[in-house]
Amino acid sequence: EAGVTQFPSHSVIEKGQTVTLRCDPISGHDNLYWYRRVMGKEIKFLLHFVKESKQDESGMPNNRFLAERTGGTYSTLKVQPAELEDSGVYFCASSPDHYEQYFGPGTRLTVT
Amino acid sequence: GQNIDQPTEMTATEGAIVQINCTYQTSGFNGLFWYQQHAGEAPTFLSYNVLDGLEEKGRFSSFLSRSKGYSYLLLKELQMKDSASYLCAPGSPDRGKLIFGQGTELSVKP
């Protein structure tokens, strides 16, 4: 069974540019989560989809971040415009229930 | 709010036993998870406790006391590959999001 995949693995962009991160969850997992780890800090929750609906987006830092999950399959997280403080590792996780979450390898985003 | 406290670093010897403690204060609670994260990799699930007591799973065990807001992860027969960050994460009652602590960086020495 394929795990959670994320693309790209690394992204380096300039401040003000736009970046879109993609997450493909494990097939059949209705729950999809986005998390972020900023350098030196703990992993923080961003938002949670159940199928295509946003269940909880309380962790989204501001309106420069937009997450979508059209069709309830893969999800994208767009940052527009990117700021320096957005640099970090963005993890996606999926789960068939509210128990074990399976994490992807993460996308390392560097904003210069 | 959430407040999770675990040691930043620990060192142990191959073959030994190590206990990683975690205390937490959360506005809600839906079980406590432990995850392992090797450098540059994704966190992987280790254990889940929702009731008080000890859950054993091979070389790893996890304990929970809800009244004390306390959990520990016990690793036995340490191997070099156990060198990693161990993340304590109370589950939110809000449908499953995880609230992570800073993690404990465990170094296993020969």
Hey, which residues 45-84 in chain B have their CB within 8 Å of chain A?
Answer: 45, 48
Q: Which residue has 């999800």 as its token pair?
A: A75
Q: Is residue B42 exposed (0-12), middle (13-18) or buried (19+ Cβ within 10 Å)?
A: buried
Task: Kindly determine whether residue A50 and residue B95, on different chains, have CB atoms separated by under 8 Å.
Answer: yes
B84: chain A residues, CB-CB within 8 Å: none
**What residue of B is the nearest CA neighbor of A3?**
B42
Find the angle CA(B10)-CA(B11)-CA(B14) to the nearest 5 degrees: 135
Top-confidence residue, B95 or B73: B73
Top-confidence residue, B28 or B81: B81
B91: chain A residues, CB-CB within 8 Å: 98
pLDDT, average across residues B91-101: 76
Query: What is the rounded CA–CA span in Å between residue A95 and residue A101?
Result: 5
Q: Say whether pLDDT at B50 is over 90.
A: no
A94: chain B residues, CB-CB within 8 Å: none
Q: Say whether pLDDT at B34 is over 60.
A: yes
pLDDT, average across residues B60-86: 96
Q: Say whether pLDDT at B1 is over 60.
A: no
Q: What's the confidence (pLDDT) of residue B96?
A: 73
Confidence of residue B52 (pLDDT cuts 50, 70, 90): very high
Task: Kindly determine whether residue A43 and residue B41, on different chains, have CB atoms separated by under 8 Å.
Answer: no
Q: Say whether pLDDT at B38 is over 90.
A: yes
Q: What's the confidence (pLDDT) of residue A72?
A: 84
d(CA B12, nearest CA chain A) in Å: 23
> Of the given ranges (A49-53, B15-19, B96-100), which has the lowest mean pLDDT?
B96-100
d(CA A81, nearest CA chain B) in Å: 26
Q: Is A1 on the interface with B (CB under 8 A)?
A: no
Confidence of residue B53 (pLDDT cuts 50, 70, 90): very high
DSSP state of A98: S
| Average pLDDT along chain A, 112 residues, taken 10 residues at a time | 91 97 95 93 93 93 94 95 96 88 95 97
Q: Is A42 on the interface with B (CB under 8 A)?
A: yes
B30: chain A residues, CB-CB within 8 Å: 98
Q: Say whether pLDDT at B87 is over 60.
A: yes
B41: chain A residues, CB-CB within 8 Å: 105
Q: Are strands A10-13 and A107-111 parallel, antiparallel or unpaired?
A: parallel
Query: What is the rounded CA–CA span in Å between residue B36 and residue A43?
Result: 13
Q: Which of B53, B47, B93, B22 is nearest to A42 (CA)?
A: B22
Q: Say whether pLDDT at B2 is over 70.
A: no
Q: What's the confidence (pLDDT) of residue A20?
A: 98
Top-confidence residue, B3 or B107: B107
